[in-house]
């Protein structure tokens, strides 16, 4: 029996819900900053007298920061533990959101956006593994899906607040208020996360026997009874050992799988997620109507994430990923036909972009938080999550550049082909990780087997 049987077979209770929410408020803050930046771009271009190239570079700074912070944070998360980063990265998130709001020149704005992105990336690499390591087997996918639910709620909140602030104080001030508001959840997070225990799985893997009594006591207070005498602590590992636990030949397929989840999503979603308002304005929509259309698209996308939250543990990761990509081709095909036959309209674009978001963001977007936390050994789980975020965020800018260069029609053609190819490749690379413990998944990957046969239930 696994050392972690009591954790894996536990009923979802208040402890799991608190942990899921406190972990998911990180993505909420990310969405608030990421999409709040779109409000700032017009203003900083005017205030700091910037050409479009430098405005684009400022946008890239945040994404580069998240990508770099995630991969570096993943290595740190495996080396020093999830909880330290999980707790103290919130300070950096709050400080640099406030400093971004106080920017008086381009250089300061660029650096604060870059630093903020780094701390957001670190948070992903700490929060996602910690949540995975305490989630019961049968509900692990749904609990990890809370990350995407809160990301989408953050997107909706920042679009709605940004629209209101723009109307109330004007575009030149709205972005400053938006970034100040973005600091609030980070401050709240510091308080909420203080009582969360360190990861028992990480302590066992990292040879930290000294942490186990305190962790076990915190779990006992939350109704999860673990016998510390049965836990055999492994030898301490170096950073080099942890990196090798992920980057090795036996793990090659998992490396490719996690890379493709992040890369394929980044290379297909951004036409809608970033350019939807631009497309609507090009069709004649006012800026307010374009923002309302974007808000509708985000709300429908959030519905897709909620659907995935309730189905990902039943349908499995492989089928969700395949459907997410392949069905995304349908609304894109409708828009291509409408473009060719000259009946492209604002309502049709809002409707089809919404359907695309429901499927692509709902199914594939949610997987950004699930398999990466499931396929690796404990001492490489942070790095695995960082590896996915490196490409999810790192390839966003090339994708945006491509869309801008080839125009709407060819972007639709590209997305149509890409989602079909992406779904097939994802299915061929993927492992089914639902219904198994993290240790069983890691053993399946390291052994080179595609599957371990029938799913095991948590109580066997």
- Identify the weakest region by mean pLDDT among 34-48, 118-132, 139-153, 241-255: 34-48
Q: Which of 9-18, 34-43, 301-310, 349-358 has the lowest mean pLDDT?
A: 34-43
Tell me what the mean pLDDT of segment 252-266 comes to: 95
Instruction: Domains for the chain: give ranges and CATH numbers.
Output: 5-447 (1.20.1250.20)
List the one residue out of 121, 133, 102 whose CA is nearest residue 27.
Answer: 121
Which residues, in sequence order, are CB contacts of 119 under 8 Å at separation 6+? Answer: 65, 69, 89, 92, 93, 96
CA 21 to each of CA 55, 131, 147, 263: distance values in angstroms, whole numbers, following the listed order: 34, 10, 8, 26
Judged against a pLDDT cut of 70, whether residue 455 lies above it is answered with no
> What is residue 459's predicted lDDT score, i.e. its pLDDT?
40
C-alpha 267/C-alpha 38 separation (Å) is 19
Residue with the two structure tokens 């803050």: 29
Give me the chain's average pLDDT, please: 89
Mean per-residue pLDDT, 185-210: 92
Whole-number pLDDT of residue 35 = 63
Token pair for 107: 């250089």
Cα(374)–Cα(165) distance, integer angstroms:
41
Comparing 106-115, 337-346, 450-459, which segment has the lowest mean pLDDT? 450-459
**Predicted confidence (pLDDT) at residue 42 exceeds the cutoff of 70:** no
User: What average pLDDT score do residues 107-122 get?
Assistant: 92
With 90 as the cut, is the pLDDT of residue 52 above it? Answer: no
Confidence (pLDDT) at 400: 79
pLDDT above 70 (res 273): yes
Of all residues in the chain, the percent with pLDDT exceeding 70 is: 94
Q: In the predicted model, what is the mean pLDDT of residues 186-204?
A: 92
pLDDT at 278: 82
pLDDT of residue 460: 37
pLDDT at 262 over 60: yes
How far is residue 320 CA from its own chain's centroid? 16
Confidence (pLDDT) at 450: 59
Confidence of residue 1 (pLDDT cuts 50, 70, 90): very low
Q: What is the pLDDT of residues 55-84, one digit of tens each?
A: 777 777 888 999 999 999 999 999 999 999
User: How many beta carbons lie within 10 A of that of residue 191, not counting itself?
Assistant: 10
Tell me the per-residue pLDDT of 422-435, one tens digit each, with 9 for 90 and over: 999 999 999 999 99
Query: Are 102 and 51 spatial neighbours (Cβ–Cβ below 8 Å)?
Result: no
Which residues have a Cβ under 8 Å from the Cβ of 19 and sit 6 or more positions away?
Answer: 130, 131, 134, 196
Cα end-to-end distance, the chain, whole Å: 9
Give tens-digit pLDDT for 147-186.
999 999 988 888 787 777 777 777 677 778 888 888 988 9
DSSP codes of every residue in 129-185: HHHHHHS-GGGHHHHHHHHHHHHHHHHHHHHHHHHHHHHHH-HHHHHHHHHHHHHHH
- pLDDT exceeds cutoff 70 at 188: yes
Taking only Cα atoms into account, the Rg of the chain, rounded to an integer number of angstroms, comes to: 22
In this predicted structure, the answer to whether residue 302 has a pLDDT above a threshold of 60 is: yes
pLDDT tens per residue across span 3-14: 798 999 999 999
The pLDDT value recorded for residue 401 is: 81
What is the pLDDT at residue 457? 39
| 160 vs 338, more confident | 338
């Amino acid at each position: 029996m696994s050392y972690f049987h009591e954790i894996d077979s536990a009923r979802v209770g208040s402890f799991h819900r608190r942990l899921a929410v406190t972990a998911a408020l990180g993505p909420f803050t990310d969405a608030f900053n990421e999409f709040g930046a779109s409000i700032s771009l017009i203003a900083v271009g005017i205030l700091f007298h910037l050409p479009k190239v430098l405005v684009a570079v400022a946008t890239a700074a945040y994404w580069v920061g998240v990508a770099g912070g995630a991969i570096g944070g993943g290595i740190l998360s495996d080396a020093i533990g999830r909880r330290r980063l999980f707790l103290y990265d919130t300070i950096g998130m709050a400080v640099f959101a406030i400093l971004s709001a106080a920017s008086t020149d381009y250089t300061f704005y660029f650096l604060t956006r870059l630093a903020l992105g780094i701390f957001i990336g670190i948070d992903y690499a700490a929060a996602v593994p910690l949540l995975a390591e305490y989630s019961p087997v049968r509900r692990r996918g749904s609990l990890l899906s809370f990350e995407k639910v809160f990301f989408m709620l953050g997107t909706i909140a920042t679009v709605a607040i940004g629209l209101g602030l723009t109307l109330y104080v004007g575009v030149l001030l709205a972005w400053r208020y938006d970034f100040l508001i973005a600091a609030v959840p980070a401050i709240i997070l510091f308080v909420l996360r203080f009582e969360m225990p360190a990861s028992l799985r990480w302590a066992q893997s990292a040879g930290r026997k000294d942490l186990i009594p305190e962790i076990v006591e915190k779990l006992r207070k939350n109704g999860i009874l673990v016998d510390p005498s049965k836990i055999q602590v492994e030898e301490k590992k170096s950073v080099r050992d942890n990196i090798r636990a992920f980057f090795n030949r036996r793990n090659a397929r998992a490396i490719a799988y996690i890379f493709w989840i992040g890369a394929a999503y980044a290379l297909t979603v951004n036409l809608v997620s970033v350019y939807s308002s631009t497309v609507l304005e090009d069709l004649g929509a006012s800026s307010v109507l374009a923002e309302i259309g974007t808000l509708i698209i985000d709300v429908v996308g959030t519905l897709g994430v909620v659907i995935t939250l309730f189905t990902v543990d039943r349908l499995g990761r492989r089928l969700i990923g395949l459907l997410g990509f392949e069905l995304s081709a349908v609304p894109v095909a409708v828009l291509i036909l409408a473009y060719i036959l000259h009946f492209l309209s604002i309502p049709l674009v809002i409707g089809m972009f919404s359907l695309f978001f429901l499927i692509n963001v709902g199914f594939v977007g949610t997987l950004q938080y699930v398999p990466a936390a499931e396929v690796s050994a404990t001492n490489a789980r942070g790095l695995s999550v960082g590896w996915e975020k490196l490409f999810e965020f790192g390839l966003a800018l090339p994708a945006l550049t491509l869309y801008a260069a080839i125009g709407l029609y060819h972007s639709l053609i590209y997305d149509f082909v890409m989602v079909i190819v992406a779904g097939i490749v994802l299915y061929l690379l993927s492992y089914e990780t639902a219904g198994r413990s993290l240790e069983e998944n890691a053993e399946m990957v390291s052994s080179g087997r595609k599957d371990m046969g029938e799913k095991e239930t948590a109580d066997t």
